[in-house]
Amino acid sequence: MHRRSFPMPGLAGAAPQVNGGEPIVVKDEPGMPHRGKVFAAVHAHLDDIPYYAAGLCAKLMSEGYTGYILRTSNDERCGGRSTAENILSNEQDHFRMAAALGFKDVFDFYYQNHDMDGISYIDLRGRLILIFRMLQVDTILSFNPWGHAEENPDHWVTGRAVEEACWMAGMPNDFHEHLEAGIQPHTVGERYYFYAREGQPYNRVVDIGSHVEKKIDAIVECKSQGDGNRGSIVRAQLARQGKRLPLLGNDDRAADRAYVRQFLLEDDREHGKPHNLEFAERFYYIDRRPAKSKADEYIEKNAVNL
Ligand SMILES: [Zn+2]
C-alpha cells in the first residue's frame, strides 16, 4: 500500500545530500531519444507506481520507451471487502491503471500481501530474472532496496530482489537453462529508485508538469486502495445532505479527477517547489550500463600486427 510520505521528526524539510551534490533536474527530451528501449516498473501494490512514479513512466513512454508493469503482491489486505474480493478488485484496478498509463503488458506475481518477507526470496528473484531477460529490459523503476523508514516488507523485499535480479540477469551461469530456451543473459543498466518515505536519498528531480494529466488518469483507477474514487464518494455523501462542492463538477469522473488534482498531488507540488516546477517526482538514479574499461581502450589503441 502506498502511504504518502509523512515528515519524520528532525527531517522535516531537510533535503538529504546525495554524494555531496545537488540533485539533477530532468526535463522532457524532444525527438523520441529512447526509441527501442524497454523499461519495467516493478511495484508491490496497485497504488505504488501511480503515486511514486506515474509521471516518469508517462515521460519515458512519450520519449520512445516501451513500458511493462509488474506487481509483486496480491493486495489482499486492501480494498475494504473480503480477502478474495480484495484480490479481484485490485487486479481489475491494476489492469485499468496500467492501460491508462499506456503499459504494453502487465505481470502479477500474487505473493501474499504484507507477508513478502516470509516468501521464497530466491523464487521471486528468479522470476524477475526471467522477465528481465525475456523482455531485454534496459531500465527499471522500483523501490530503493536500502531506503530507510520503510515499514512495508513488500516494498523492501521487492526492491532488493529487483536490484539483485538486474545484475544476475546478465550472468550466463545463473539459470543456464534459460539459454537453452533461447533466452539470453541481459544486464539491466539504468535504475530509478522511488522516493517513498521522507528522508530517503534522491539524486534526480523529474519535471512531470507535462505528464500530470496521465498521472491523474492512473490514480483515479486506484479505487480499491489509493483514494482514486474519493471525489465521487465525497460528492455522493454531500448529495445525501442536500449539498454539493463546485470543485467536484457534475459527474463522478470529473469529481475523482478534481479531488486527485486538488488534494492528492501535494508531494509532487512540494518536490517541484525548490526547482520552480509545478509538479516533480524524486528518484535515486543509478547507471550500471557497461562502459569500456581503460584496459580495453588501451588494447584497442595500441595493438599492432604480429
Ligand atoms: Zn505499497
Write out pLDDT tens, residues 281-299: 999 999 999 888 899 999 9
pTM, rounded to two decimals: 0.91
pLDDT reported for residue 12? 38
7 pLDDT more than 60: no
Classify residue 128 by its DSSP letter. Answer: H
pLDDT band at 72 (very low <50, low <70, confident <90, very high): very high
Q: Residue 166 corresponds to which cell in the numbers above?
A: 538486474
102 pLDDT more than 90: yes
17 pLDDT more than 50: no
pLDDT band at 21 (very low <50, low <70, confident <90, very high): confident
- The residue written with cell numbers 527530451 in the block is 29
Distance between Cα 33 and ligand 1 center (Å)? 31
161 pLDDT more than 50: yes
Distance between Cα 244 and ligand 1 center (Å)? 32
**What are the phi and psi torsion angles at 83 (to 5°)?**
-55, -50
91 pLDDT more than 80: yes
4 pLDDT more than 90: no
Distance between Cα 302 and ligand 1 center (Å)? 53
pLDDT reported for residue 144? 96
Distance between Cα 205 and ligand 1 center (Å)? 21
Distance between Cα 157 and ligand 1 center (Å)? 11
Query: What is the Cα–Cα distance from 105 to 33, expressed in whole angstroms?
Result: 22
**β-strand pairing of 190-194 with 280-287:** antiparallel
Domain over 24-203+283-289 is classified CATH 3.40.640.10? no
Distance between Cα 232 and ligand 1 center (Å)? 23
pLDDT band at 2 (very low <50, low <70, confident <90, very high): low
Distance between Cα 58 and ligand 1 center (Å)? 20
Residues within 5 Å of ion ligand 1 by Cβ?
Answer: 1-2, 44-45, 48
Q: In what order do the strands lie in the sheet with 280-287?
A: 24-26, 204-207, 280-287, 190-194, 139-142, 38-43, 66-73, 105-111
Query: What is the Cα–Cα distance from 218 to 215, expressed in whole angstroms?
Result: 5
- 18 three-state secondary structure: strand
Distance between Cα 32 and ligand 1 center (Å)? 31
pLDDT reported for residue 187? 95
Distance between Cα 114 and ligand 1 center (Å)? 9
9 pLDDT more than 50: no
Answer yes or no: are the C-beta atoms of 39 and 70 closer than 8 Å: no
pLDDT reported for residue 292? 84
Distance between Cα 148 and ligand 1 center (Å)? 15
1 pLDDT more than 80: no
Query: What is the Cα–Cα distance from 94 to 87, expressed in whole angstroms?
Result: 10
Locate the domains of the chain by residue range: 24-203+283-289
Give the pLDDT mean for 166-172.
Answer: 96
Distance between Cα 66 and ligand 1 center (Å)? 23
pLDDT reported for residue 291? 84
**Mean pLDDT computed over every residue of the chain:** 93
Distance between Cα 293 and ligand 1 center (Å)? 39
Distance between Cα 189 and ligand 1 center (Å)? 24
Distance between Cα 144 and ligand 1 center (Å)? 12
Distance between Cα 224 and ligand 1 center (Å)? 13
Element at 268 (helix H, strand E): helix 266-272
Query: What is the Cα–Cα distance from 269 to 286, expressed in whole angstroms?
Result: 24
